[in-house]
Chain A
Amino acid sequence: MLTQEFIQEKLTAKFGADVSNFKDNYGILTFDANAAINLKVMNYLIEEKELDFSWLNDVTAIHYPDNVGAELAVVYLFQNMKAATRIRMKCYIDLAKPDIFTATSIHESANWQEREAYDFYGVNFIGHPNLIRIMNVDEMDYFPLRKEFPLEDQSRTDKDDQMFGRN
């Protein structure tokens, strides 16, 4: 039985302090990994037969502007097909130097998804075979999903947060 405790034990035994912040998010074990060893963790998840998270379900990125020094998170969702279990790995990287190793050598499906993460957030996947924009035009010189491009109309006053008991 592939329990979350077992996965956590296995990972901490192998990587120690490089994996941290284990949390159960509605049935999916989520943890942070040091961005420098993202491929090592991925390989371990495949090669360790008791874990067998050999299927990459999803790759995306998130921008946390308040998290200074680690503003961008690259998020991977792995899946063990037989046990029908999913785990999520987050690697935080610096916005000023958004480098992380590409997963394309391990999982072919990461190719376009990493291109999308680059297109939206400017994550620089080192070693990616074709890291160009995928959704937006090639001439675009900014990364539109970053939080510095707010969509909410900043001049609106009718949505006063205090009116709704928020501060």
Chain B
Amino acid sequence: MSITQQHISLPEGSLGKQTTTLNLGPTHPATHGVFQNILEMDGERIVSAVPTVGYIHRAFEKLAERRPYNQITPITDRLNYCSSPINNMGWHMTVEKLAGIKIPKRVEYMRIIIMELSRIADHLVCNSVIGVDTGATAGFFYVFEKREDIYDIFEEICGSRLTTNIGRIGGLERNFSDRAWNLINGFLDSFPIVMKEFETLLNRNRIFMERTMGVGGISAERALQYGFTGPNLRAAGIDYDVRVNHPYSSYEDFDFKVPVGTTGDVYDRFLVRNGEIWESLSIIRQAIEKIQPLDPSVYHADVPDFYLPEKEDVYNKMEALIYHFKIIMGEMNIPVGEVYHAVEGGNGELGFYLISDGGRTPYRLHFRRPCFIYYQAYPEIIQGCMLSDAVVTMSSMNLIAGELDA
């Protein structure tokens, strides 16, 4: 009996076609979050891919339109949750730019320490997961211990680990404690050994190189066309780094290199991230050195209109109570205007486009999410690849579902 005689209704053209449709995701373990790709396969080669996004869309841009400025920080946590502090700082800096708040150098350097630590954590996750997807689980477990150390530092600084909500508009919520400094210094001592070993595990590993070199490559022109930023663009050979090209938070005071690749393939992305981890370490060291001569009691700008007063003053001083009340009720004097501020996030240029009409909430807040923009290139990159290469390519692009779907 032929298949048509069984009265099974099949989609038009599906009997004659030579390819297989494969549904990768949305909750497949190989997809690192809620991603779906409908692949058209010829044997084990991918002919075409149709990505679906939006599975965890939470309408952050709409939510932000009713939240006072200091309540938007927790939203930014949940964009790229592998490096929340960078998002938090980016948001604070956007509002500070709009309100014209000048931040003391010491606070900017402290912010840089936090941001670079989270960049290391972000890159560690991404790079070690590339290892997992090529079959090398050891490196993943090994560096995750160090990622825990970074999260311990965040916990000491702000009280939470993953979604940090770190800092405030105008500075940090509290000074670094002695224990925090000790943890940072301890991390700087112990991490390079682990990182070296992680690199020796994979960098020249024959199997790893075979699996990643020439896989998921993209040319510099195509990468620019697709709006790539961050390590993915730099792996393709373009040295665009927001920290260098549009310096913020006093990054111009620091001396660091921007690692670039040539082919833009998975292996180059891996190497660029590893290179950036070393540069981040050097930036943190420089920041600690620069902080030494500065007044150790400064951890926020002197802006009572925006920065919450000390709790003790709130209970004992009328002025402080008024400021506290106004800030909690969202009554900060935010000027009318529109501002764009971008930071170098873990996976690219994270931009905040803020339009204020002088009210207690933004009139419009748009997040420029790097991985939403460069994920468009994914079908083109994996065309003609093996299925297993598509998985490695996805993990090497450092896609974070929270940021992709906002």
B338 and A25 contact, CB distance less than 8 A: yes
B62 and A25 contact, CB distance less than 8 A: no
Which residues of B in the span 221-261 have a Cβ within 8 Å of any Cβ on A? 222, 224-227, 238, 240, 245-246
A134 and B338 contact, CB distance less than 8 A: no
Which residues of B in the span 251-308 have a Cβ within 8 Å of any Cβ on A? none
B349 and A57 contact, CB distance less than 8 A: yes
What is the total of A-B residue contacts with beta carbons within 8 Å? 96
Q: A88-B340, A164-B331 are in contact. Are A81 and B227 (CB under 8 A)?
A: no
Q: How far is the CA of A111 from the CA of B225 in the complex (A)?
A: 11
Q: Which residue of B57, B224, B366, B376 has the most chain A CB atoms within 10 A of its CB atom? A: B366
Digitize B327-358: 1 where CB-to-A-CB distance is under 8 Å, 0 elsewhere: 00101000001111100000001010101000
When C-beta atoms are compared, the residue in chain A nearest to B228 turns out to be A109
Q: For the complex formed, measure the closest distance between the CB of A79 and the CB atoms of chain B, giving whole angstroms.
A: 9
A139 within 8 A of B: no
Q: How far is the CA of A108 from the CA of B333 in the complex (A)?
A: 40
Which residues of A in the span 62-103 have a Cβ within 8 Å of any Cβ on B? 62-63, 75, 77, 81, 84, 86, 88
B372 and A112 contact, CB distance less than 8 A: yes
A25 and B226 contact, CB distance less than 8 A: no
B61 and A84 contact, CB distance less than 8 A: no
B66 within 8 A of A: yes
B227 and A144 contact, CB distance less than 8 A: no
B62 and A135 contact, CB distance less than 8 A: no
Q: Which residue of A63, A149, A152 has the most chain B CB atoms within 10 A of its CB atom? A: A152
B225 and A108 contact, CB distance less than 8 A: yes
B59 and A81 contact, CB distance less than 8 A: no
Digitize A115-151: 1 where CB-to-B-CB distance is under 8 Å, 0 elsewhere: 0100010000000000000111000000011000111
* Chain A neighbourhood of B349, CB < 8 A: 57
* Chain B neighbourhood of A107, CB < 8 A: 225, 227
Q: For the complex formed, measure the closest distance between the CB of A75 and the CB atoms of chain B, giving whole angstroms.
A: 8
Digitize B349-373: 1 where CB-to-A-CB distance is under 8 Å, 0 elsewhere: 1010101000011001010100011
* Chain A neighbourhood of B372, CB < 8 A: 112-113, 116
Q: A84-B245, A88-B340, A159-B329 are in contact. Are A109 and B225 (CB under 8 A)?
A: yes
Q: A57-B368, A62-B355, A151-B63 are in contact. Are A84 and B246 (CB under 8 A)?
A: yes
Q: How far is the CA of A120 from the CA of B355 in the complex (A)?
A: 17
B311 within 8 A of A: no
Chain B interface helix/strand/loop/mixed: mixed
Q: How far is the CA of A58 from the CA of B368 in the complex (A)?
A: 7
B97 within 8 A of A: yes
B65 within 8 A of A: yes
A25 and B340 contact, CB distance less than 8 A: yes
A19 within 8 A of B: no
B65 and A151 contact, CB distance less than 8 A: yes
A81 and B240 contact, CB distance less than 8 A: yes
A38 within 8 A of B: no
B340 and A135 contact, CB distance less than 8 A: no
When C-beta atoms are compared, the residue in chain B nearest to A25 turns out to be B338
Q: A108-B226, A109-B227 are in contact. Are A30 and B338 (CB under 8 A)?
A: yes
Q: For the complex formed, measure the closest distance between the CB of B333 and the CB atoms of chain A, giving whole angstroms.
A: 10
B214 within 8 A of A: no
B61 and A120 contact, CB distance less than 8 A: yes
B376 and A28 contact, CB distance less than 8 A: no
A33 within 8 A of B: no
A151 and B368 contact, CB distance less than 8 A: no
Interface residues of A (CB under 8 A from B): 25-26, 28, 30, 54-58, 60, 62-63, 75, 77, 81, 84, 86, 88, 107-109, 111-113, 116, 120, 134-136, 144-145, 149-152, 159, 164
Interface residues of B (CB under 8 A from A): 53-54, 57, 59, 61-63, 65-66, 97-98, 222, 224-227, 238, 240, 245-246, 326, 329, 331, 337-341, 349, 351, 353, 355, 360-361, 364, 366, 368, 372-377, 405-406
Interchain residue pairs with CB less than 8 A apart (27):
A26-B339, A55-B224, A57-B351, A58-B366, A58-B373, A77-B340, A77-B351, A81-B224, A81-B238, A81-B240, A107-B225, A108-B227, A109-B227, A109-B376, A111-B376, A113-B373, A116-B372, A135-B405, A135-B406, A136-B54, A144-B59, A144-B62, A145-B62, A149-B62, A151-B62, A159-B329, A164-B329
